[in-house]
Structure 1
Amino acid sequence: MTNASRRPMRRLAAVALCALALAGCSTVSGWFGGTTAPKPAELTANPATFAVRQAWTARLGPVNLALRVAVSGTSVVAAASDGSVAAFDAATGRELWRGNVGGPVAAGVGTDGKVVAVVTQSNDLVALEGGRELWRQRLPSVAYTPPLVAGERVFVHTADRAVSAFDGQTGKRLWTQTRPGEALVLRHPGVMLAVGDTLVVGLSGRLAGLNPNTGASRWEQPIASPRGLNDVERLVDLVGPASRVGDSVCARAFQASVGCVDAVRGQLQWTKPSSGSDGLSGDGAQLYGTEQDGKVLAWNRTNGDKGWTSELLLHRGVTAPLLLGRSVVVGDAFGYLHLLSREDGKLLNRLPTDGSAIAAPPVLAGNTLVAVTRNGGVYGFVPD
Structure 2
Amino acid sequence: MSKSLFFVVLLSAVLVQGCSNARPDLPSLPSIDSKVNLKTSWRTGVDGGFGETSERFNLVAENDALFLVTNKGTLYELGQEKGKRRDSFETTYEASSGVTRHEDTLYFGTYDAQLVAVSLASKSVLWEKTLSSEILSEVSYAAGKLAVQTSDGWLSVLDATTGETQWRAKEDLPSLTVRGTSAPVIAEGKVIAGFANGKLNAYSLQDGASLWSYELGKPEGRYEIERLSDVDGRLVVQNNVVYAVAYNGTLAALSIESGRPLWQRSIGSAVGVAVEGELLMAVDMKSHVVALNAKNGTEIWENTDLADRDLITPTFFRDYVAVMDRGGYVHLLDLTTGEVAEHRMADNDVPPGSRMVASDKQLFILTPNANVTALSY
Q: TM-score when scaled to structure 1?
A: 0.87
Cα distance in structure 1, aligned partners of 2:269 and 2:220: 17
Aligned to 2:362: 368
Q: Which runs of 5+ in 1 are unaligned?
A: 31-36
TM-superposed CA distance for 1:18, in Å, is 3.5
Shift of 1:173: 1.7
Q: Which residue in 2 is equivalent to 1:6?
A: 4
Deviates more, 1:91-100 or 1:354-363: 91-100
Residue equivalent to 2:290: 297
1:266 to 250, 259, 266: 259
Counterpart check, 1:345 vs 2:338: yes
| 8 Å contact from structure 1 (residues 191, 200) kept in 2 | no
Measured against aligned partners, the alpha-carbon deviations of 1:183-224 in whole angstroms (never above 9, x if no partner) come to 333322414112222111112312211111112111112222
Amino acid across the alignment from 1:164: S
Contact 1:341 1:348 in 2 (8 A): yes
Match of residue 40 from structure 1: 27
Summarize the Cα distance change of 1:357–1:150 in structure 2 as closer, same or farther, 3 Å threshold.
Answer: same
Instruction: Call closer, same or farther: CA 1:163–1:101 in 2, change over 3 Å.
Output: farther
Q: Please, which moves more after superposition, 150-159 or 226-235?
A: 226-235
Report the CA distance between 1:46 and its aligned residue.
Answer: 5.4
Deviation at 1:330, TM superposition (A): 0.9
Cα deviation, residue 271, structure 1: 2.1
1:59 matches 2:49: no
- Structure 2 residue ranges without an equivalent (≥5): none
Residue 71 to residue 153, structure 1, CA distance change in 2 (3 Å): farther
1:209-248 to structure 2, matched below 5 A, reads 209-229=202-222, 231-248=224-241
In structure 2, the residue corresponding to 1:260 is in which secondary structure?
strand
In the alignment, the residues of structure 2 paired with residue 70 and residue 161 of structure 1 have an alpha-carbon distance, to the nearest angstrom, of 26
Q: Flag the 1:172–1:254 CA change in 2: closer, same or farther, 3 A.
A: same
The structural deviation recorded for 1:165 is 1.5
Size of the aligned set, in residue pairs, is 369
- State the SS of the aligned residue for 2:200: strand
Instruction: Give the secondary-structure state (helix, strand or coil) at the position aligned to 1:6.
Output: helix
**Alignment-derived partner of residue 164 in structure 1:** 156
> Judging changes above 3 Å, is the alpha-carbon distance between structure 1 residues 160 and 100 closer, same or farther for their aligned structure 2 residues?
same
State the 1:99 CA deviation.
2.2
Instruction: Please give the alpha-carbon distance, in whole angstroms, between the structure 2 residues aligned to 1:314 and 1:230.
Output: 26
**CA distance in 2 between partners of 1:269 and 1:159 (Å):** 29
Report the CA distance shift for 1:7/1:257 in structure 2 as closer, same or farther (over 3 A).
farther
Query: Which residues in structure 2 correspond to 1:26-105 (within 5 Å)?
Result: 37=24, 39-45=26-32, 47=34, 49-60=35-46, 61-65=48-52, 66-105=56-95
Q: Identify if the C-alpha distance between structure 1 residues 86 and 208 changes in structure 2 by more than 3 Å, giving closer, same or farther.
A: same
TM-fit CA distance, 1:26: 7.3
Question: 1:282 aligns to what?
Answer: 275
Call closer, same or farther: CA 1:39–1:148 in 2, change over 3 Å. Answer: closer
Conservation of the 8 A alpha-carbon contact between 2:71 and 2:95: yes
- What does the per-residue CA deviation read over 1:118-142, in whole Å, with 9 as the maximum and x for residues that have no partner? 1111111111121531110111111
Query: Is residue 325 of structure 1 aligned with residue 318 of structure 2?
Result: yes
Find the counterpart in structure 2 of residue 378 from structure 1.
Answer: 372
Partner deviation per Cα, 1:152-201 (whole Å, 9 max, x = no partner): 22221111211112221221222212233333333224141122221111
Contact kept? 1:110, 1:147, Cα under 8 Å: yes
Aligned residues of 1:73 and 1:366 also touching (Cα < 8 A)? no
Cα distance between partner residues in 1 of 2:38 and 2:353: 20
1:149-160 aligned within 5 A:
149-160=141-152
- Displacement of 1:52: 4.5
Note closer, same or farther for the CA distance 1:330–1:87 as it changes in structure 2 (3 Å cut): same
- Partner Cα separation in structure 1 for residue 222 and residue 143 of structure 2: 42
SS of 2:176's equivalent? coil
% identical aligned pairs: 21
Give the equivalent residue in structure 2 for 1:115: 105
